[in-house]
């Protein structure tokens, strides 16, 4: 008999089912007609609660399966026992979550990095950098100054060599040769500059992040950026090309990219992201705060200008360290941490 036919027979009150409900799989007890008369138990018993209407086995509690109920009572569950957290309908499973004891894994990759819920004050960023430098100049400012000087030395050397060569041989060579030589030296200088920046910035960012987290990093941390060299170099190229293209288009797009990508270096160092993911993560956390970032960039330019006006000594000894720590402050704040002053 098919399932449809069985349903029709049952709906019409036909035979095929014991009075009062279903029996165990495989049909009723020997002799047909369902389970025995009211008050009688079928030979060998049956599943919990099964039996004829109004009847119960001696001792109450419903019919059990052959051999009796499982030890400890409470009825039978699924064969072999259920997974942790299974129980009667209506009862919440034990465990730390609504998934029956299973805690879903979390993923904090750059794709989930959304806009920062809290903004930042540009003046507070610069003020934090100033206080950190003034509080412990030797531990904070001196390593930054040395790292920046080491970073710009190759560029200065190449520029001096180019100027000496052009000055000594310029009058004796063809002007086309002089221009070609100048272009070649400029290209080499740019490549060397990018390489030195990629190496130094890795350690420098690591150092300043430690300062913003209340630590006193060792002096040599500023020269520990070797493992970040390739991602930092890739990020530097993408940042430079993107911002330059934006400025050439209409200035405004370049400013927007500079504001949105300002945190890409800390994401590479602190989160271990690649250059593209770091730029994306920086764009996400600055969403809704690009106006504040733009004000911060203007304020940074003013601080740098004041340093230059102080015979450049102020720029080297004060402005560079203050702004390096302020940049780290901005990243720490936008990623949800609270910067801590040095103890």
Query: Is residue 228's pLDDT more than 90?
Result: yes
Which is nearest to 20 in space by CA: 8, 33, 32, 29?
33
Mean predicted lDDT score pLDDT of the chain: 77
Report the pLDDT averaged over residues 194-200: 94
Residue 44, classed as helix, strand or coil, is coil
Contact 48, 69 (CB under 8 A): yes
Confidence of residue 271 (pLDDT cuts 50, 70, 90): very high
Q: How far apart are the first and last CA of the chain?
A: 84
Query: Is residue 301's pLDDT more than 90?
Result: yes
Query: Is residue 114's pLDDT more than 80?
Result: no
H helical segments located in 216-251 = 229-250
Query: Is residue 29's pLDDT more than 70?
Result: no
Q: For residue 30, how far is the Cα from the chain centroid?
A: 67
Report the pLDDT averaged over residues 255-278: 96
Query: Is residue 187's pLDDT more than 60?
Result: yes
């Amino acid at each position: 008999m098919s399932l449809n036919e069985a349903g029709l027979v049952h709906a019409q009150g036909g035979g095929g089912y014991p009075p009062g409900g279903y029996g165990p799989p495989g049909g009723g007890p020997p002799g047909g007609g369902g389970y025995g008369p009211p008050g009688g138990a079928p030979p060998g018993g049956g599943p919990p609660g099964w039996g004829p209407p109004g009847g119960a086995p001696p001792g109450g509690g419903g019919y059990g399966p052959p051999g009796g109920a499982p030890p400890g009572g409470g009825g039978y569950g699924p064969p072999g026992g259920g997974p942790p957290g299974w129980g009667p309908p209506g009862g919440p499973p034990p465990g730390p979550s609504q998934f029956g004891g299973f805690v879903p894994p979390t993923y904090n990759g750059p794709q989930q990095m959304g806009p920062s819920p809290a903004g930042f004050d540009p003046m507070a960023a610069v003020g934090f950098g100033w206080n950190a430098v003034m509080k412990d100049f030797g531990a904070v400012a001196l390593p930054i100054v040395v790292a920046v000087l080491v970073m710009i030395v190759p560029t200065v050397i190449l520029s001096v060599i180019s100027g000496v060569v052009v000055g000594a041989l310029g009058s004796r060579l063809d002007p086309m040769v002089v221009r070609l030589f100048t272009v070649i030296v400029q290209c080499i200088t740019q490549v060397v500059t990018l390489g030195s920046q990629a190496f130094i910035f890795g350690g420098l960012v690591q150092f300043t992040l430690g300062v913003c987290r209340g630590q006193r990093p060792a002096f040599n941390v500023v020269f520990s950026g070797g493992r970040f060299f390739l991602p930092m170099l890739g990020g530097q190229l993408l940042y430079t090309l993107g911002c330059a293209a934006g400025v050439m288009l209409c200035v405004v797009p370049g400013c927007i990219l500079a504001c949105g990508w300002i945190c890409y270096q800390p994401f590479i160092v602190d989160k271990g992201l690649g250059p593209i993911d770091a730029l994306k993560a920086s764009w996400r956390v600055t969403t809704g705060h690009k106006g504040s970032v733009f004000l911060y960039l203007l304020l940074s330019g003013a601080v740098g200008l004041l340093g230059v006006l102080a015979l450049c000594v102020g720029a080297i000894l004060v402005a560079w360290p203050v702004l390096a720590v302020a940049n780290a402050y901005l990243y720490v704040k936008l990623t949800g941490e609270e910067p801590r002053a040095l103890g």
